[in-house]
Amino acid sequence: MILARLWIVIFVTSTTIVKAQNITQCASSCGDIHDISFPFRLKADPLNCGDSRFELDCLKNRTVISLNSKRYYVLEIDYREFLIRAIDPGLEHYKRNCTSFPDYFNTSVPSTSTFARDLTVELLYRKSTSGTIIDVKHHDRNIPIIYVNCLALVNSSRYVETTFCGSQNKTYFSNSSQSHSYIAIGQDMSVSDLAENCSVEMVAWASARGLSGDNTSLSNIQAALAYGFELSWKRTYFCRECEGYCYAEGDGFVCHRCKLNSGIKLRIPCSVHHFFDLIYTRFYGGIVLILIPPFRFLCGFIFLIALVVYKLRRRHLSEYQAIEEFLQIQSNLVPIKYSYSELKKMTNNFKEKLGEGAYGTVFKGKLRSGPFVALKMMHKSMTSGQEFISEVSTIGRIHHVNVVQLVGFCVEGSKRALVYELMPNGSLDKYIFLQEGIVSLSCKQMFEISVGVARGIDYLHRGCDMQILHFDIKPHNILLDENFNPKLSDFGLAKLYPTDDSIVSLTAARGTMGFMAPELFYKNIGGVSYKADVYSYGMLLMEMAGRRKNMNPFADHLSQIYFPTWVYDQFNEGNDIEMQNEDDEDRRMVKKMMIAALWCIQMKPAERPAMSKVVEMLEGEVQLLQMPPRPFTAPCNIAGEVI
């Protein structure tokens, strides 16, 4: 009985394989395209040939493919690479002295659900009074070719002046003597790149492989148009015995309702289904009876390993996908998205290193437009972390004289990078604590820096649609430009909250020890709010005023170990802080900074002033400032022990 069932399975399997082979053996030709086979078929082919979703037509001895109700000529079918190359009928022939027009205006690469979406180009466009302006997000496989009409001459290497063949020129372009026709490659093109008094009149598509040499050469662009565009199809031959359809899932393909002649309906990975087909084709009959038990064990073992690998890869891909999806949603971000190859050119292959921090390494670069920039390549441990998203989402929407400007970013595979404006004088920590070879800043310069930092923090708290809490204000994160103007940087720990939220929720303490507010550790002091940034600023301000660390266990006197407490005691007793080589005006500025700092580092958040009030204190007269309550006796560590 068992033997009879096994022979039935072998017979059914052999019959299935014969049918599958009959399907794949169908081949036909049309014009220059020969051996048209699975998954493609011609309309005149028998019904058992190819896949109906990949049906081609043969018109006037030319192979034609219909994409979204538009007909294109097929130039090549590459079954090894799963690519089909097609061309707009209007672009098939071109002359050296003029540029052909496409028959169709396409805002994206012509395709259908049959072809892989991840290999196509997306073109976003909007209408304006000057015509059609485009934003292009491209894939390396295809590039947009833009036909531009301008009312005046354009002096730009991006635009190549030309004339257009045929009467279609009259349809799209003005015959005025002041009208000028150009053609340009739309790769990396944005709204701001469109020259003044110019409008986009037509968009065609070409494969990047068809473009060689100088991108600004008219002959090269014409050759790219004549080469056509490329599309990819799914490996549907894995599912040639499926009742229904085959679709991608993870790294493989799944047959929906695969059906054998026995009537058994399965839902299995198509690669496994195909693997069974190959085995049965070579070893059917009596040999299959011997191989079935070990083969089933081997397949199960291979499937288990593949499942583990798939899960691991899926987890990493989901982490990268979270960043990609966020950047797509945040379409109003001003920063430019760069490719990794552009970063290498920008930094001369990462030649000049400026420094290294906890999150990444900083290199010096130069934009094509001329300005120098600082490029931070994130460490691999941070490429899928929240720090990168936080940085782009916060600093990407900020425009303030005291906040560093984010020029652009890179998200490519596991590579993450941020491109900032270059701050030639580095970070503030080099100037607070005197170092050999570093020019010391005057008291007035240090005071102006403290006011600028306060204004920057006040802008984060009140100047945006969302309340931005920095959570990591310290000397290392204050950068100085060529004129020593301060700018807040490093928003990796920042959080966005509605402006009406006075108390925010945090799952864990964040910041740098010595600058973190006590409520981040002790919940009974008060809730976490923007007052945490006020505390960090107060600790920063105290170090700037005293030109020393707030905590110095090697101080000459025990009372000076914790500098803020010693300063409070001196002022409370009516004594001035003696500063070296400073006049009366300098001492007044230092006193204002210290009193403002003592207000900012009050233990309870409710007793600390808002940053707008701190700015008023620094800009006002020192005589009007009142001494705050004593901040606390001594700082505590995380465990709650007094230091």
Query: 533 and 564 share a domain?
Result: yes
Contact 57, 43 (CB under 8 A): yes
| DSSP output for 243-278 | SS-EEEETTEEEETTEE-TT--EE--BHHHHHHHHH
Tell whether 541 is covered by a domain: yes
Question: Residue 628 — φ and ψ, nearest 5°?
Answer: -80, 175
Which of 422, 449, 479 terminates a domain? The answer is: 422
CA nearest to 376, candidates 349, 351, 396, 353: 353
From the number of C-beta atoms within 10 Å of its C-beta (0-12, 13-18, 19+), residue 18 rates as: exposed
Quick one: 238 and 334 in the same domain?
no
Q: Does one domain contain both 316 and 352?
A: yes
% of the chain at pLDDT higher than 90: 23
Number of domains in the chain: 3
The Cα 140–Cα 341 span in angstroms is 12
Residue 145: what are its φ and ψ, rounded to 5°? -110, 120
Q: Which residue has the tokens 């909007």?
A: 126
**Are residues 41 and 137 part of one domain?**
yes
Distance from the Cα of residue 28 to its chain's centroid: 45
Amino acid at site 275: F
Q: Which residues pair with 143 in a beta bridge?
A: 206
Structure tokens at 289: 């009876």
Residues contacting residue 367 through CB under 8 Å, at least 6 positions apart = 346, 373, 407
Q: Is the pLDDT of residue 278 over 70?
A: no
Nearest-angstrom CA–CA distance, 44 and 66: 15
Q: Is it the case that residue 558 has pLDDT exceeding 80?
A: no
In a domain, 640, yes or no: no
Whether the Cβ atoms of residue 163 and residue 182 lie closer than 8 Å to each other:
no
Q: Which stretch of DSSP H or E encloses residue 307?
A: helix 286-329
Cβ atoms of 203 and 136 within 8 Å: the answer is no
- Residue 453's domain is classified under what CATH number? 1.10.510.10
What's the confidence (pLDDT) of residue 265?
Answer: 39
SS3 call for 137: strand
Lowest mean pLDDT of 107-121, 209-223, 302-316, 443-457, name the range: 107-121
Identity of the highest mean pLDDT range in 46-55, 112-121, 240-249: 46-55
Mean pLDDT value across residues 276-292:
51
| Model confidence pLDDT, tens digit, residues 137-196 | 445 578 888 888 888 888 887 888 888 776 444 444 444 556 888 888 876 666 566 777
Select the more confidently predicted residue: 563 or 558.
Answer: 563
Helix (H, G, I), strand (E, B) or coil at 413: coil
Tell me the β-bridge partners of 496.
468
Contact 479, 422 (CB under 8 A): no
User: CA torsion angle for 520, 524, 525, 531 (degrees, to 10)?
Assistant: 50
CA distance 396 to 394: 5
State residue 552's pLDDT score: 58
Q: Are residues 384 and 350 in the same domain?
A: yes
Q: Report if residue 273 sits inside a domain.
A: no
| Residues 567, 598: Cα–Cα separation, whole Å | 9
- Please tell me which of 250-259, 446-455, 582-591 the model is most confident about, judged by mean pLDDT: 446-455
The secondary structure of 214-233 as a DSSP string is -TT-HHHHHHHHHH-EEEEB
In a domain, 642, yes or no: no
pLDDT top residue among 268 and 203 = 203
CB-based contact 591:576 (threshold 8 Å): yes
Residue among 479, 475, 194, 203 nearest 362 (CA): 479
> Does 459 lie in the same domain as 341?
no
376 assigned binding-site residue: yes
* Three-point CA angle 419, 454, 427, nearest 5°: 45
SS (H, E, C) 6-69: HHHHHHHHHHHHHHHHHHHCCCEEECCEEEECCCCEECCCCCCCCCHHHEEEEECCEEEEEECC
What pLDDT is attached to residue 437? Answer: 59
Same domain, 406 and 440: no
Average pLDDT over residues 479-500: 88
Domain boundary among 380, 403, 422: 422
Which tokens is 347 given? Answer: 């930094």
Tokens standing for residue 478: 């204050």
Nearest to 141 by CA among 190, 69, 194, 78: 78
**Residues above pLDDT 70, as percent of the chain:** 68
Establish if 21 belongs to a structural domain.
no
Same domain for 72 and 116? yes
Paired tokens of 434: 């005197």
Tokens 């072998």 correspond to: 10
For residue 343, being part of any structural domain is answered with yes
- The residue written with tokens 């390494």 in the block is 361
Residue 383: the pLDDT is 47
Among the three residues 394, 422, 450, which one is the final residue of a domain in this structure?
422
Write out the two tokens for 582: 């400073």
DSSP 464-490: SSEEEE-S--SGGGEEE-TT--EEE--
> What is the chain's mean pLDDT, rounded?
75
Cα dihedral 223, 229, 235, 240 sign: negative
Average pLDDT over residues 82-92: 89
Q: What is the CA radius of gyration of the chain?
A: 34
Cα–Cα distance measured from residue 447 to residue 435, given in angstroms and rounded to the nearest whole number: 19
Distance in angstroms (rounded) separating the CA atoms of residues 388 and 418: 9
User: What pLDDT score was predicted for residue 231?
Assistant: 86
Domain that residue 326 falls in: 303-422
Helices of type H across 137-185 = 168-172
Q: Cα–Cα distance between 608 and 614 in angstroms, integer? A: 9
Catalytic residues: 472
Q: What is the CATH number of the domain that holds 397?
A: 3.30.200.20
Question: Are the CB atoms for 30 and 3 separated by under 8 Å?
Answer: no
The token duo for 381 is: 């441990």
Place of tokens 């390993």: 305
Same domain, 456 and 605: yes
Residue 365 falls inside a structural domain: yes
Residues 145, 200, single domain; the answer is yes
Q: Supply the pLDDT for residue 29.
A: 92
Q: Quote the pLDDT of residue 251.
A: 43
In a 10 Å sphere around its CB, with 0-12 CB exposed, 13-18 middle and 19+ buried, how is residue 516 labelled?
A: buried
Give me the residue label for tokens 């894995």: 238
Same domain, 606 and 492: yes
Assigned domain for 126 exists: yes
Q: How would you class 337 by CB atoms within 10 Å of its CB: exposed for 0-12, middle for 13-18, buried for 19 or more? A: middle
H/E element, 478? strand 478-480
Cα separation of 465 and 229, whole Å? 44
At 34, give phi and psi (nearest 5°).
-110, 160
Distance CA 75, CA 145 (A): 19
Q: Which residue has the higher pLDDT, 176 or 380?
A: 380
Does residue 416 share a domain with residue 433? Answer: no
